[in-house]
Structure 1
């Protein structure tokens, strides 16, 4: 049987997952909690990549053109 602290952590995590799901427009399916948490995480990171895609591409092109900012301090 789980300890009370473990149960409260699980409940807290579950409520955070539900909150994230609602913010992503997802409904709670009858599937297992573990699968739902995996789906929420996957969708969260997909959206994160969509939002930040332009900034990441810009950063990568700057690094390709100018090199790493602290490259002169590398010892290898």
Structure 2
């Protein structure tokens, strides 16, 4: 099940969020749903953190592969038609 589907099916729990007054005022004047916006923002922040963690964890392998390609070229380059 995709992460977004898991979130939408999860039980909800009320929480307090402290925001700067001008930001809250603008959100209300524009009819922005704060719960949905916070949820999407958190999901995006989590995805970015997971991506960065994966890149950090795999940096050695990525660098090694890039060095290999720079030194030897792409493995199937002879078969490229573009």
When normalised by structure 2's length, the TM-score is 0.56
Q: Paired residue for 1:50, among 44, 53, 56?
A: 56
| Residue 12 (1) aligns with residue 12 (2) | no
When normalised by structure 1's length, the TM-score is 0.60
RMSD over aligned Cα, in angstroms?
A: 3.0
Aligned residues: 57
Query: Structure 2: any 5+ residue segments left out of the alignment?
Result: 18-34
Which protein, 1 or 2, shows the higher relative CO under an 8 Å CA cutoff with sep ≥ 6? 1
**If each structure's helix is expressed as a fraction of its own residues, which one has the higher value?**
1
Query: Structure 1: any 5+ residue segments left out of the alignment?
Result: 1-8, 17-27
| Residue 61 (1) aligns with residue 67 (2) | yes
Pair member with larger Rg: 2
Runs of 4+ with >4 A deviation: none
